[in-house]
């Protein structure tokens, strides 16, 4: 096990700026992918099911992420599809650890993101940074109260995805540990 902090990566929002207003974002390449989590919500045989989900990925993100002083792990509903579908398109290793989610995530009684409690268990007391478009102040307060190690929760806009200032903040935060 490494002493580096964890970097828990979501796909939709941070790596795939799905809410971008511009159809062609500079530095991004569009792909048609078929992650299981998305396919499970489509009508089998429908046009959408056959075409796949349009995903925008920036091929430079893989190198930029691996240069950060973190141990990378997927924290996405895409689960193991992240390694198979996203990693090769952005230059990440195809064997990153994957957070395993409960079979049917539901609404949290305290209004937390459905990932928050599982991520705390998965981090097992290690320092971590979490990049996601669904993080709220409730999640940050819960992590601060229930996780003794340092944690950085970064809400990334799904309009922009990870930006230069986000990479700089991650590097700076890791440098304080």
Instruction: Provide, rounded to the nearest whole percent, the portion of the chain with pLDDT above 90.
Output: 68
pTM for the model: 0.90
The token duo for 48 is 């959408």
Q: Is 8 helix (H, G, I), strand (E, B) or coil?
A: strand
The token duo for 12 is 């939709």
Domains of the chain: 6-17+58-175 (3.40.50)
CA angle 59, 160, 54 (to 5 degrees): 60
91-101 per-position pLDDT tens digit? 999 999 999 98
Average pLDDT of every residue of the chain? 90
17-62 per-position pLDDT tens digit? 999 887 778 889 999 988 887 767 777 887 777 777 789 999 999 9
Higher pLDDT, 90 or 44: 90
Q: Is 32 exposed, middle or buried (0-12, 13-18, 19+ CB in 10 A)?
A: exposed
């Amino acid at each position: 096990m490494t002493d580096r902090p964890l970097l828990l990566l979501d796909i939709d929002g941070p790596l795939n700026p799905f809410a971008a207003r511009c159809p062609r974002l500079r530095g991004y390449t569009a792909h048609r992918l078929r992650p299981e989590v998305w396919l499970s919500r489509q009508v089998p045989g429908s046009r959408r099911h056959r075409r796949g989900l349009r995903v925008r990925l920036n091929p430079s993100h893989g190198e930029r992420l691996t240069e950060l002083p973190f141990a990378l792990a997927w924290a996405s509903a895409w689960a193991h599809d992240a390694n198979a579908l996203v990693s090769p398109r952005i230059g990440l290793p195809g064997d990153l650890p994957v957070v395993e989610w409960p079979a049917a995530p539901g609404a949290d009684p305290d209004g937390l993101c459905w990932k928050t409690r599982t991520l705390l268990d998965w981090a097992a007391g290690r320092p971590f940074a979490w990049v996601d478009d669904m993080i709220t102040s409730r999640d940050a307060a819960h992590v601060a109260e229930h996780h003794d190690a340092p944690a950085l929760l970064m809400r990334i806009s799904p309009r922009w995805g990870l930006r230069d200032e986000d990479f700089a903040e991650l590097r700076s935060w890791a440098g304080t540990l």
